Structure 1
Amino acid sequence: MAKSQAQKMRQKQVREGKRNPELSRSPFAFTDMRTRKTKSKQDQLNTSKHKNRISYYGDDGSFLFL
């Protein structure tokens, strides 16, 4: 298999004593991002977008007994 132009340039820089840019890569570059886990039905039910927000109008579902 042939080497790419970028790979040739990286190897040339390493031979000249410069830093290898492959060492600066994030460890997440090598993770397999294709395996995904969808939320279960219980996880979907437990999430809500604006949970326990304080309302400016006082209609947050709470009331006061006097």
Structure 2
Amino acid sequence: MAKSAARKQREKLAREGKRNPDLNRSIFAFADMRQRTTKTRAEKLNQQKHKRSLSYQSDDGLFYLRAKLAAIV
């Protein structure tokens, strides 16, 4: 591909020892700022990773503890 006139001018300034305008760009110019509409598979797995899975088959929990304390007292 051919070089644009602006790119040629930037390279000329850099050769002459002047500041390259590329260095003035913000870090956000290179970041992908597009917002995703849906989560990726990895994001879904990480979201569920640290959540406790509720166990409805066991009786361990707050209600069991309260019933046990009420029977003792």
Q: How much does 1:34 deviate?
A: 1.8
Could you say which structure has the larger radius of gyration? 2
Amino acid at match of 1:31: A
- The alignment's C-alpha RMSD in Å is 1.7
Aligned length: 38
In the alignment, what sits opposite 1:31? Answer: 31
Structure 2 gaps of 5+ residues are 39-73
4+ long deviations beyond 6 Å:
none
Task: Tell me the alpha carbon deviations over residues 13-66 of structure 1, each in whole angstroms, 9 at most, x when there is no partner.
Answer: 01111001111110000111223358xxxxxxxxxxxxxxxxxxxxxxxxxxxx
Give the structure with the larger helix fraction: 2
Q: TM-score, normalised by structure 1?
A: 0.50
Residues of 1 paired with 2:30 and 2:8: CA distance? 21
Q: Residue 10 in 1 paired to residue 10 in 2? A: yes
Percent of matched pairs sharing the same residue: 68
Q: TM-score, normalised by structure 2?
A: 0.46
Structure 1 gaps of 5+ residues are 39-66
